Chain A
Amino acid sequence: MSVLSGNGPHDDANTALEIDDLTVAYNSKPAIWDIDLRVPEGVLMAVIGPNGAGKSTLIKAALKLIPRAAGTVQFYGQPYEHVRGLVGYVPQRGSVDWDFPTTVLDVVSMGLYGRLGWIRRPGQSERESALHALEQVGMQDFADRQISQLSGGQQQRTFLARALVQDARIYLMDEPFAAVDAVTERAIITIMRELRARGKTVVVVHHDLQTAPEYFDWVTLLNVEIVATGPIATTFTPENLRRTYGGRVAYLQEGQQIAGLEKE
């Protein structure tokens, strides 16, 4: 609860996201339990843990998309409602209906709706921002494509472009690497590194243990409770992983196989 002692901008200048005593429950079964987490500004952080560990729940609860049972969440020392514009969110791509009658460019423009506010419509400058974001993810040729024609990887890049266009300070991404092709995976990691180079903070729900040390510089190991959090070099240890996954070695081997395939 250290934030309560200092709300001034200087105290929190280095903290992008601070979570205190956060608990979320679905029908009295805790999904995440008493989470204390501090994400320093400018890191590229993976949230790693087994299925049902509450990784997505953590992100959704931080954004108040699901009710919190207890706890506080602050972005740059402020509650989320005050700093929506600073936070970019990439939901799981399976969360929407890709048969919706609209174009790739239109979906990307939706990232700008928060800045536009109620009633105002996107115009030419929004269109250009959206096109620029599509260029960044290598999708500029798909701008006028109907979204149902996209492959899974292209859908994910569209979502990423939609977050990029928000020009946020911290990005929360829910499994952006889930079931995407190698090209998309490379495109996403390149963009994440660019974001970090520009001083942005990126929090990513991640599944692949094998690529984690290569992609990220910070990690939070989660299994309902926080197991460990910190720089990946000192935190992503076999001991911590065993504590996170409870000795489910099969998962580690599966990860190895995936990594082996990709090297081909």
Chain B
Amino acid sequence: MFQLEEFIIQFLLNFVAREDLNAFLRNPQHTATIVGSLIAVSGALLGTFLLLRGMSLTSDAISHTVLLGIVVAFILMGSLFGQHPDLSSGWLIVGAAAAGVATVLLTELIYRSGLVKQDAALGLAFPLLFAIAVILVSRVVSDVHLDEDAVMVGEIGVAWANTNSHCLSGCESVTITPDDPRAEMTRQCTNCRNLGISPRDDKAEFTTICTNCGDYSPAQAWQAGFTRQEPVLVFWPKSITVMAVMTLLTLLAIVLFYKELKLSTFDPTLAAALGFRPTLLHYGLMVLVSLVAVGAFDAVGSILVVAFFIIPPAAAYLLTDRLPRMLLYSSLIGAAGAYSGYDLARGNLLGVVHLSDILAAFNNLFGLGLSEQWDSSISASMVLMTFLFFLAAWVFSPKYGLVSTMLRRRNQRRSFDDQVVLGHIHRHQGRAAESDELTASTLYRHFRWSPAKMERTLRQLAARNLVQIEADQVSLTDHGETHAHQFRQTQLTNESVGELST
């Protein structure tokens, strides 16, 4: 990871000055937007396949159980190597991926017993693993930074502050050993805590330890005052690298295995018959979901991760019926949600509405003493914005939106009404009871329609030159005659004949 960051920084420094790069990354908005967008894009890409496989909620399960992988890996690393890794460590990521696969395996195992339904099996498996993780966190890993807030909504707002420092020049690393003159030595009681005694007790035993010994990177050495010359540094937020790697892996997998993923999603049976190992692809997809979930866990918390997997694909599904476009649209929607979500957290809704103005208006109107400072959770605001985009797609999608569906149904109903009236006239024209059945002003009674509806329908038919009304008697024009005849031919016969004409 570190080398990768070095590489990216060197590349970027061809275009921007170091000071500008540092200033850019130190802006919480920039880092939060970059990290949020990367989560959104990788989540949207994977979520598209999950949605089409009818397993969107698996991402919710996995985003929780990766915690178990993280904790177990953390404990193993601590006891085996005496290390305390952070979330960008490779082993924690391996642990998370294993936990994701374990979740799916356990779910399948429970489901295969045939005693529990699929959704319940998922609901049995993941809380179990999550509960174990929570107990391990609270009992074993007491000094790890995993508080409830972090699990709930993440720390994307402070992602800019958790950096690796990369030294460009004037780099002087320092190692302080106990015999170094700069070492700070202090006495510490070794058995006080175990025996529950005070250091003043006679039985207290002491040892001398060094409080500032260890390796100092150039940045730390400068900060601690061990070096004279200020090193030239770039501070690179770790979560950008983590999410960039996850996003690249996701992109690579989807570009390489697009055909296989599509086939095994649409028709797993054929995929198996052609030798494409749908089970392998399934677990591969789950590993990717776990990787993105663990990367996102740090930034947006385990509860909101699922929104990045589900909402953008659900919106894109309403906007297109081609898979490549669905992947593209859902990525764009996810990224737009992350970008505008940051602004919303600061009270700015798409640059149109400023929530602090609304609060001020409320204060003026009702004399409420509300704080006019708007500063809410960034990750929650990102989810909210993404949902707003979904809402827009749901209502206004040209093909599958609520509005277009309603309009289409209304048009169908109207045109069907037209046909019913035409058919009625067609059938009764030239019959004995003609005058009663075809009286324009009373026709509505035969249909049990409202007079207004009949009037509207007749007016439209007359306007289209399909009927004529003379002395309150309705009759078909020649054009209307042909039209009614054609309708009988095409619509009132069975499907097979209809298909012949296509």
Residues of A within 8 A of B (CB): 27, 60, 63-65, 81, 84, 87, 89, 91, 95-97, 100-103, 107, 110, 113-114, 116, 118-122, 141, 146, 148, 151, 153-154, 162, 181-184
Closest to B320 in A: A101
Pick from A27, A107, A118, A181: contact of B260, CB below 8 A.
A118
- Asked if residues B267 and A113 are in contact (CB atoms below 8 Å), the reply is no
B195 within 8 Å of A (CB atoms): no
Q: What's the count of A-B pairs with C-beta under 8 Å?
A: 89
Tell me the complex Cα distance, A89–B274, Å.
Answer: 9
A177 to chain B, nearest CB (A): 13
Which 7 pairs, one residue from A and one from B, show the smallest C-beta to C-beta distance? A114-B274, A181-B496, A182-B496, A146-B321, A101-B321, A89-B273, A96-B267
Flag if A183 contacts B259 (CB, 8 Å): no
Interface SS, B side = helix
What 10 new A-B contacts, CB under 8 Å, besides A63-B273, A107-B266? A84-B274, A95-B267, A97-B54, A100-B265, A101-B321, A114-B273, A121-B259, A153-B496, A183-B500, A184-B499
Does B275 lie within 8 Å of A84, measured CB to CB? yes
Question: In the assembled complex, how far is the CB of residue B116 from the closest CB belonging to chain A, in whole angstroms?
Answer: 15
B126 at the interface (CB under 8 A from A): no
Q: A65-B272, A84-B273, A119-B257 are in contact. Are A113 and B322 (CB under 8 A)?
A: no
B273, A100: Cβ atoms under 8 Å?
no
Please determine whether B267 and A81 come into contact, CB atoms closer than 8 angstroms.
Answer: no
**A151 x B495 contact (CB < 8 A):** yes
User: How would residues 408 to 436 of chain B score, 1 for a CB under 8 Å from any chain A CB and 0 otherwise?
Assistant: 00000000000000000000000000000
Residues of B within 8 A of A (CB): 52, 54, 114, 256-260, 262-263, 265-267, 269-270, 272-276, 317, 320-323, 325-326, 494-496, 499-500, 502
Of B257, B322, B494, the contact of A103 (CB 8 Å cutoff): B322
Contact yes or no, B275 A81, CB < 8 A? yes
Interfacial chain A residues near B262, Cβ < 8 Å: 102
Q: Are A116 and B259 in contact (CB under 8 A)?
A: yes
In contact, A110 and B266 (Cβ under 8 angstroms):
yes
* Given A102-B322, A181-B499, CB of A113 within 8 Å of CB of B266: no
Q: Cβ of B326 and Cβ of A91 under 8 Å apart?
A: no
CA distance A158 to B259 in the complex (A): 18
- Once bound together, how far apart are the Cα atoms of A148 and B52, in whole Å? 14
Q: In the complex the two chains form, what is the Cα distance from A97 to B266 in whole Å? A: 7
Query: What are some 14 contacts across the A-B interface (CB < 8 A)?
Result: A65-B273, A87-B273, A96-B266, A101-B320, A118-B276, A119-B256, A119-B260, A121-B259, A122-B259, A181-B495, A181-B496, A183-B499, A183-B500, A184-B499
